[in-house]
Amino acid sequence: MAEFKAAQGAVASEGDAMTTGKECQNLCVFVAELYNFQVISCQLVYDVIRLCIKDINEFTAELLLKLIRISGQQLRKDDPLALKEIVRQVTETIGASGKLSVRCKFMVESLTSLKDNRMRNEMSQNAENVARLRRFLGNMDKRRAVGAAEPINIGLQDIRDIETKGKWWLVGSSWVGNQYTGDTDGPTALQKAQKDSDNAEMERLLKMAREQHMNTDIRRSIFITLLSSDDYADAFERLLKLDLKNAQAREMMRVILHCSGQEQAYNPYYTLVAYKLCSYHNTYRLTMQYALWDFLRELGESDVGGLGRISEESSSLGANVPLRRIVNLAKTYAWLVDKQVLSLLILKTVTFARVGEQARVFFQVMFSTLFLLHKKQSAQDVQAVYSVFQHAVSNPTMCHGILFFFQHFVKNCELVSEDERPIMKWGCKVAKQAIRSGVGSTSFDDM
């Protein structure tokens, strides 16, 4: 480590020694290969890259190109956001410097190609060679019964601070007291403020979870994950990382539907999270079906099938369910049916001829939303609506009930504006054509 620290000092220096010989280039290749074989994490490699882009010249451009060729694909995979930020910094630095050499321009193009996932053949070939060698080394470990080790998560600053904060690779030589030597009032205060802020946010989320009757650790974990994620893709990844099994995993969909129903206005965020999960595994689609049946039973439709239980939010049939919850869930199911991660066959146990008032509103909002998603009425819209109803023709009884409901409650739906009613009639017509073509019966002509 002492030799490595001395070598790192050479990389960091700005004298002529830095630009002579191949020592710095060899050290960068050494660091990149250590990273490729998971000895160190991407933190040290990105620190070296940041050091190089502070002063872009022929020599630093050469170092950057070597790092990109050797470890570019793995860097993009491990931390694409850091790579994006580095490309931004390089662009700003180049904009300030003005004139650039051909070598520097080539380096910038390589970085941009790496960020945009346009890998050159040389990068791809090197990544394949590394993967082959890693498999070979992994098989050697299996024969020798050597346990897998995590990459060392260090940065340049950790190497620079060996004398003041201890030799962290030796047990007992780096102790917490060393972290506070010297002038550290600023960072310590910042860290404390950040910790206090994180604790306050967690307390707020836990309080909301209690208010929303998240009465188990699993439900609370799902709830907090949903509300603390950056976007629906982040929420999807974090929910999967909870590593819930069987019945625990099915709680995800029920918590998502609960949160969606509690919003004052429809929030597509929860619908997109549900879409990602339903696209991921059939278990979640099945749970959405059972959750819908439970909700319809809660609306008073006691003959609708399901798991034989009422959802936890209510224990009585025909309870007065808030209108916002009915509308939000209807729009959620309409969007999922339109994207065909759910089929209209989830309604196979519904008796449309005698639905109650609350269930009627739910289905009016659901079908009207389904049609309004294709308000342009283009050829693609016709095909999308046609396809949704064509997949339901395997249950003629349900199709007959849907067309009956369209005739009496959707064609001239009072829940939509006058301008939108032609869209309702258009949607009902397309649905009828799809059902007739599939069922092959003339019994629908008078509907």
Quick: pLDDT tens for 116-135. 766 555 565 666 677 777 77
- Cα-flanking dihedrals φ and ψ of residue 146, to 5°? -95, 130
d(CA 182, CA 45): 27
d(CA 384, CA 364): 19
Predicted model pTM = 0.58
Q: Which pLDDT score is estimated for 120?
A: 53
Helix spans in 175-281 (H): 185-211, 217-228, 232-241, 247-262, 268-280
Q: Which residues contact 118 (CB under 8 A, 6 or more apart)?
A: none
Q: Which residues contact 251 (CB under 8 A, 6 or more apart)?
A: 216, 218, 219, 222, 244
Q: Which pLDDT score is estimated for 372?
A: 95
d(CA 369, CA 356): 20
3-state secondary structure of 343: coil
Tokens of 220: 């609370």
What is the chain's length?
447
Q: Which pLDDT score is estimated for 127?
A: 65
Q: Which pLDDT score is estimated for 164?
A: 74
Q: Which pLDDT score is estimated for 82?
A: 79
Q: Which pLDDT score is estimated for 295?
A: 95
Which residues of the chain are under the pLDDT cut of 50?
1-5, 8, 11-12, 14-20, 145-148, 174-178, 180-187, 190, 306-316, 442
Tokens of 352: 């449309």
Nearest residue to 69 (alpha-carbon basis) of 134, 20, 118, 125 = 125
Q: Which residues pair with residue 7 across a beta bridge?
A: none
d(CA 334, CA 355): 18
Decide: residue 3, CB within 10 A, 0-12 exposed, 13-18 middle, 19+ buried: exposed
Q: Which pLDDT score is estimated for 139?
A: 67
Q: Which pLDDT score is estimated for 156?
A: 83
The conformation of residue 39, written as its DSSP 8-state character, comes to S
Nearest residue to 369 (alpha-carbon basis) of 328, 400, 399 = 328
Query: Cα dist. 341→44, 389, 427 in Å?
Result: 43, 14, 20
Neighbours of 349 (CB within 10 A): 16
Q: Which pLDDT score is estimated for 315?
A: 43
Q: Which pLDDT score is estimated for 22?
A: 77
d(CA 305, CA 290): 8
